[in-house]
Structure 1
Amino acid sequence: MRLTGADILVECLIEQGVDTIFGFPGGAVLNIYDSLYKYKDKIKHYLTSHEQGAAHAADGYARASGKVGVCLATSGPGATNLVTGIATAYMDSSPMVAITGNVPLNLIGKDSFQEVDITGITMPITKHNFMVKRVEDLAETVRRAFQIAREGRPGPVLIDIPKDITMRECEYEPRVTGQIEKKSAVNTGAIEKALAMIHEAEKPMIYAGGGVIAAEAAPELYELAVKINAPVTLSLMGMGAFPATHELYTGMIGMHGTRASNLAVTQCDLLIAVGARFSDRVVSRLDRFAPKAKILHIDIDEAEINKNVRVAHYIVGDVKTVLAKLIEGIQPKDRSQWLNHVLALKAQKQQPGNGGELTPRYILEKIYELTGGEAIITTEVGQHQIWTAQYYKFTRPRTLITSGGLGTMGFGLGASIGASIALPGKRVINIAGDGSFRMNLNELATAVEYNLPVIVVIMNNHALGMVRQWQSLFYDSRYSQTTLDRKTDFVKVAEAFGAVGFNLTAREDVEKVLREALSLNRTAVINCEIDRDHKVWPMVPPGAALEDVIVDETDLVKN
C-alpha cells in the first residue's frame, strides 16, 4: 500500500509493539501528529509540559516495563530539549527511541528557522542515530532503530526525519517483528575457568549491577549466590536485582555503600562482577580496590572489560545465559567461616538511628511498611536518592528507577509518569529533594492531566543537600549557593496544578499523611520539612579507599 512518510512511521511504531508515546508538537512534526491523530485508537500520545519531561517519561516507561520507550519532539529547541533525557538513558543503558523532526532537506545546512544538527549533537550519547533522507528508507530505519535499542546492551537511538520526508509517499510493506536474539554463544573454556575460580575461592563476593536487571537475570543471580554461599552487594543501578531482605545481601557498594559491603569487597579473595561497570563511585581509590581478590567480570558489553578495572578473567555474553551455565557446574563448598565474618560486619554500626525527629530514614521506612515494599520508586538526584537506596528495601527488579550514571536532577517526576503509565494499578512514588523537584515540577500538570496517582515525597531541607554536605565536610562549611531559603510553598504549587498537597513537619504525623495520600487516586505532593544538616552516611571521602568508609562525623574527625 502507498502511504506518506508520517503514516509509515506510525505503522512501523505499531509494528514494533508501541502503544504509548510521549512528546510535544511543533512545526516540523505536524504531519506526524496528524498521523497520530488518525491512529489514536492504536497509539496513545501523552503530551508533557516540556520535551525533557517526554524523554524522562519514555525512559521511566522503559525501565518499569522492560519495553522500548518512545518520545517525539520537533526540530531545533524541541530536539535539543530531549538531549539531557537521551544522555540519561544512554548512561543507564535504557532502551529508548527518540524521534525528532527537522527542516525540509533543501533547507538543511542553511541555518533555517528551528534547524539544528541533532544527529551531530547526540552522536556521543546514543547507541546509533539516523537522519532519514529518502522516504523509501524510513520503514527499515525505524525497524533497525528498535533492534539496536533492544539488542545487546540496551540504549537510546535517535531518528531525525526532515519534514518533507513525512509528506512524501512510497509503498509500504508491513512486516512481523521477530524476537531479538540474545548473545548466547558462550565459550565453554571460559565457563570452565570461571567455575574453577569459584571453586578455589574461600571468600567469594558478588557485585551486581543494572545489567542483571536488563538481562532479566535476577533469578539466576539469586541461585548462584545461594549455591556458592557468597555475599551480594549491588550498585545503585542494580537495586532490586537481589532481595534486600535476604541474609546474603550486604547493601550498596561504593562511595555511599554500607561498611559491610565495602569491607567485604576489600577482604574477599574472588569478586564476581555481574552486569556492572566498575564506575568511579563504586571503585573509589583504584589502586586499593579489592586488593586481595581475583576479579571475574561477566557482561554483555565487551567494551566494559578492563575499561576501569583490570580483571583476572571475563565472560562476554548475555548475563542470564552465562549465569545459567555457571549454576549447572557449581560444586558445593563450605564457606561458613567467611559468611559468619560478613554477617558480623553487617551487625556492626552502619548508619545513625532515627532518633525522635522527622528524618528521611523514618519517612522511607514508613513508605516501605505502608506499601508492603510493592511500590515502584523513582527518585530525583541528591541525598534523597541515596537515602532511598539505603532505607527502602528493594526486593524485585525494576522497582527503583533512578538516574545513576548521569545523575540528572529533575529526572524523577517525568520517570514516575512513564512508570505509572507503563504499570497501571501499581503505586508509583517519586522521592525528591527540593532542589531537584524545582527543575521539572511543571510535569505535575502532565500527571494531573492524565489522572496519574503518582505521589511526590519532597525531602525539603531548603538546600542543595548533597553539594552542601561536601561543603560542610571538605570546604570548611563555606555554603556557596547551596542554601535555598526561597519562599516557594510546595503545597500551594501542588494545588495550583490540580494535585493534592500535604505539609509534613512532625514525625508523629508521617503515617497519617502517607495513608491519606496512598488512599487517594490522585496526584499528590508531600512536603517533608527535614533538618538541613541531615547527611548521607556512610561515606568514602574523596581520594580514600573503600575500606576507609566512615559512618558518621565522629569517624571523620578520627580520620
Structure 2
Amino acid sequence: MKAEATRKVNSAPRTGADLLVDSLIEQGVDTLFGYPGGAVLPIYDAIYRAEGSFDHVLPRHEQGAIHAAEGYARVSGRPGVVIGTSGPGATNLITGIADAMMDSLPVVIFTGQVAKGVIGTDAFQESDVMGITTPITKHNYQVQQIEELPRVVKEAFHIATTGRPGPVVVDIPKDISSTVHEAEVDSTFHLPGYQPNVRPNPIQINKLHEAILQSKKPVILSGAGVIHSKGSEDLASFAKNYNIPVVTTLLGLGGFSGSDKLSLGMGGMHGTYSANMALYECDLLINIGARFDDRLTGNLEHFAPNAKVAHIDIDPAEIGKNVPTSLPIVSDAKAALQALNNRTVSQLDHKDWIEKTSSNKSEYPLWHDDYEDKISPQWLMKKIHAYTQGESIVTTDVGQHQMWAAQYYSFHQPNKWVTSGGLGTMGFGFPAAIGAQLAEPEASVVAVVGDGGFQMTMQELSLLQERKIPVKIVIVNNEALGMVRQWQEKFYEGRYSHSLAQSQPDFVKLAESYEIQGYKLETKEDLEKVLPEVLNDPNPAVIDCRVMQMENVYPMIAPGKGLHEMIGVTR
C-alpha cells in the first residue's frame, strides 16, 4: 500500500497559518476544539478569515478540548482535532493525549510553539512539546519550514487514522505560522517506513479455522479493535457461524450485542462470572482487537491456563507482548473476520461448552442489594437503560460509576460507549459527552460521572449553556472517591484516607448559575418521577443522584488473583 496524496495547495501568497487552515479544510475537518493564546494567534487570525469553513468549539480548559475531541473521535470514527497554544496550553493537553494513546483514538493535536530562533532559551511559554509527547503519541512533528506544513498535516491525519489509531501532535513555531509564503506548495507524501498490514495471512487464517474445528471449549475475546474496524456485524456472523461464546472487554462493549444469547458479558476485574470462567476454562482463546490489559487478565499465571491463544490485532507489537500466542494474525479485525466467515464450517463440537457457559450465565448473574426507597447505583444504571431503551450514547469517567455503567447498561450497538479505559482519567466523561453530542447531534447522550471526576471539568457547563448542547449529566453522587474508598475498605483495613466526606458544591445551584436546569434526586420516588422526563427533554440538564455511599462493585478480582478467584459472585 502506498501512502501518498497529490493535491496542490492554493499558490496565492499565504501565511503558514493559512496553509494550515487550507489543509484542515482539505482533510474534511468539520469541528475543531481549541483554545487561543499568544503562540497560535496567527492561526486564530487565519481561522477568523476562514469563518464558516468549520465549527470552532471553545472549551473552558484545554483538558476539556482534548477529551471532547476523544469523544468526537470515538463516536464518529473521524479524527478529533485540537489546537492549543504553547507552554501551559500544550501541557494542559498531555493527559488527554496519553488517554487517546492508551485507548487507540485518532486525534490530531496542533500546538503553538515559540519562534524557532528562541527555542531552547526558556522563552516565555516555551515547553519541549516534542520531548514531552514522544512517549504518548503515535507520532509527532515540529514543523521546521513553511513549505513542509501541508505535507506534515496530511501525514498526521493519515497516521492518526490508519493502522492502529492514535494521537499525532504537530508543533508549529509562531514564525512558521505567521510567515508569508508565495510559492506553490506540494502536499505529496510517501511513508515507506509506515505501511500497516491490514490483510490477514491466509495460512494463519486456515490454522485458526482448523483450531476452531478441533476445539471443544473455544471463546472469543472482543476488543475495541472490532469497533475501530467497523467489524461488529462480521463478528456477529463469526460467533453465530462457529457457535462460539463471546466475552467483551471494557472498551469493546457494544462491538457484540449484550443481548445476544452467545454474549457472556464483560471480562476482567469487574467482569461477569460467566465471562471470566469462560476465559479461565477455555481450550482456545480467540482475541480479536484487544491488548490483554492487566485489568482484563488478572494474574497471568492463571489466565487461560489450558488454552491455545490466537490473537488478531492490527498492531504487531501487541501480539505476544503480555500473553504467549500460538496463532498470531496481524490484520485489521474486520478483514480477518471476513476471511474466517468465508471458510466452510463443519464438524463443530461446542454443544456441551455452550450449555456450560449458558448455565454459568443464568446461575451467577450480576446482583446487588436493593433498598426500600434509597437509590442504589446499580438500580440507577438499570433505570437509565430502561428510560433510554438502551439507545443512548453513554460516557463515563473512571471508577465505581464506570463499572456499574459497564455492567448494567447493556450495549447492543458499537460507538455508544465512551469511556477512559487504559489511562483511567477522572474528568473525562463530561467533556467527552460534549464531543460525542457534536459528532451525533440527533443522538441522546448521557454523561454518567462521579462527584469527584465531575468537579475536575465541570467548567465545561458553560459550553452546554452557550451552545444549548442537550447532554444529560447524571452524577452518581456517593460523596466519596468511590473506587479509592472500596480499595481502602478491602485492602487497607478500612483506613479511608482522604476518600470520604469530599467537599462539593450544590450541583443544582451550580447548574442554575449556568442557566441549566438542575435536579437533586435522593429517593427512588424522586428518580422515577423526574428522570424519565429529564432524559427525554431536548435541553441540557444536571442530575445529582444521591446513592449509597458504601456500595461496592462486584464481582471483583483482587490484585494478584486469577480470573477464577472472584469475590462477590453471590450475595
TM-score, reference length from structure 2: 0.94
Equivalent position amino acid for 1:238 in 2: G
- What is the alpha-carbon distance in structure 2 between the residues aligned to residue 264 and residue 390 of structure 1? 17
Equivalent position amino acid for 1:224 in 2: F
Q: Map 1:233-382 to 2 at 5 A.
A: 233-332=247-346, 333-356=348-371, 357-382=374-399
Residue pair 2:377, 2:548 contacting (<8 A) in 1 also: no
**1:389–1:103 CA distance, 2 compared to 1 (3 A):** same
Residue pair 1:15, 1:174 contacting (<8 A) in 2 also: no
The alignment partner of 2:527 has SS state of helix
Q: CA deviation at 1:411?
A: 0.4
Counterpart of 1:143 in structure 2 is 154
Q: Map 1:28-107 to 2 at 5 A.
A: 28-107=39-118
The one of 433, 456, 462 aligned to 2:450: 433
The one of 547, 556, 562 aligned to 1:545: 562
Q: Map 1:1-40 to 2 at 5 A.
A: 1=11, 2-40=13-51
Q: CA deviation at 1:350?
A: 3.1
Q: CA deviation at 1:487?
A: 4.7
- What is the alpha-carbon distance in structure 2 between the residues aligned to residue 144 and residue 465 of structure 1? 42
**1:498–1:177 CA distance, 2 compared to 1 (3 A):** farther
- Pair 1:209-2:220 in alignment: no
Counterpart of 2:6 in structure 1 is none
- What is the alpha-carbon distance in structure 2 between the residues aligned to residue 523 and residue 235 of structure 1? 30
Deviations 1:247-292 (A, max 9, x none): 1111110111111111111111111000000000011010111011
Counterpart of 2:463 in structure 1 is 446
Misfit runs of 4+, over 6 Å = 174-178
Q: CA deviation at 1:543?
A: 1.1
**1:485–1:116 CA distance, 2 compared to 1 (3 A):** closer
Q: CA RMSD in A?
A: 1.7
Residue pair 2:150, 2:187 contacting (<8 A) in 1 also: no
Q: Map 1:167-182 to 2 at 5 A.
A: 167-170=178-181, 171-173=183-185
Counterpart of 2:531 in structure 1 is 514
Q: Map 1:363-512 to 2 at 5 A.
A: 363-512=380-529
Q: CA deviation at 1:521?
A: 2.1
Equivalent position amino acid for 1:328 in 2: N
- Pair 1:228-2:262 in alignment: no
- What is the alpha-carbon distance in structure 1 between the residues aligned to residue 206 and residue 366 of structure 2? 40
- What is the alpha-carbon distance in structure 1 between the residues aligned to residue 511 and residue 172 of structure 2? 37
- What is the alpha-carbon distance in structure 2 between the residues aligned to residue 545 and residue 391 of structure 1? 23
- What is the alpha-carbon distance in structure 1 between the residues aligned to residue 322 and residue 20 of structure 2? 40
- What is the alpha-carbon distance in structure 1 between the residues aligned to residue 353 and residue 173 of structure 2? 61
Residue pair 1:16, 1:177 contacting (<8 A) in 2 also: no
Q: CA deviation at 1:480?
A: 0.4
Q: Which moved more, 1:158-167 or 1:347-356?
A: 347-356
Q: CA deviation at 1:40?
A: 1.8
Residue pair 1:445, 1:498 contacting (<8 A) in 2 also: no
Q: CA deviation at 1:407?
A: 0.2
Q: CA deviation at 1:523?
A: 1.7
Residue pair 1:3, 1:172 contacting (<8 A) in 2 also: no
Deviations 1:509-557 (A, max 9, x none): 2232212212322221100101111110000111110001122586xxx
- What is the alpha-carbon distance in structure 2 between the residues aligned to residue 474 and residue 552 of structure 1? 18
Deviations 1:140-184 (A, max 9, x none): 000000000011000000000011101112235587999x99733
Equivalent position amino acid for 2:420 in 1: S
- What is the alpha-carbon distance in structure 1 between the residues aligned to residue 550 and residue 397 of structure 2? 19
- What is the alpha-carbon distance in structure 2 between the residues aligned to residue 46 and residue 181 of structure 1? 34
- What is the alpha-carbon distance in structure 2 between the residues aligned to residue 10 and residue 532 of structure 1? 49
Equivalent position amino acid for 1:157 in 2: V
- Pair 1:195-2:209 in alignment: yes
Percent identical pairs in the alignment equals 48
- What is the alpha-carbon distance in structure 2 between the residues aligned to residue 120 and residue 208 of structure 1? 34
- What is the alpha-carbon distance in structure 1 between the residues aligned to residue 188 and residue 524 of structure 2? 56
Q: Which moved more, 1:59-68 or 1:519-528?
A: 519-528
Counterpart of 2:174 in structure 1 is 163
Listed as ranges, the gaps of 5+ residues in structure 2 are 1-10
Residue pair 1:360, 1:384 contacting (<8 A) in 2 also: yes
Equivalent position amino acid for 2:536 in 1: S
Counterpart of 1:557 in structure 2 is none
- What is the alpha-carbon distance in structure 2 between the residues aligned to residue 119 and residue 184 of structure 1? 29
Residue pair 1:350, 1:551 contacting (<8 A) in 2 also: no
TM-score, reference length from structure 1: 0.96
- What is the alpha-carbon distance in structure 1 between the residues aligned to residue 533 and residue 285 of structure 2? 45
Q: CA deviation at 1:367?
A: 1.3
The one of 220, 233, 237 aligned to 1:219: 233
Deviations 1:290-317 (A, max 9, x none): 0111111000000001100001111001
Listed as ranges, the gaps of 5+ residues in structure 1 are 555-559
Equivalent position amino acid for 2:294 in 1: D
- What is the alpha-carbon distance in structure 1 between the residues aligned to residue 425 and residue 79 of structure 2? 20
Equivalent position amino acid for 1:443 in 2: E
- What is the alpha-carbon distance in structure 1 between the residues aligned to residue 548 and residue 160 of structure 2? 43
- What is the alpha-carbon distance in structure 1 between the residues aligned to residue 536 and residue 269 of structure 2? 37
Residue pair 1:151, 1:181 contacting (<8 A) in 2 also: no
**1:197–1:430 CA distance, 2 compared to 1 (3 A):** same
- What is the alpha-carbon distance in structure 2 between the residues aligned to residue 123 and residue 386 of structure 1? 31
Deviations 1:307-349 (A, max 9, x none): 0000111100111111100111141324221111111000123
**1:86–1:143 CA distance, 2 compared to 1 (3 A):** same
The alignment partner of 2:341 has SS state of helix
The one of 117, 121, 124 aligned to 2:135: 124
Residue pair 1:259, 1:551 contacting (<8 A) in 2 also: no
- What is the alpha-carbon distance in structure 1 between the residues aligned to residue 417 and residue 188 of structure 2? 33
The alignment partner of 2:317 has SS state of helix
How many residues are aligned here?
553
The alignment partner of 2:405 has SS state of helix
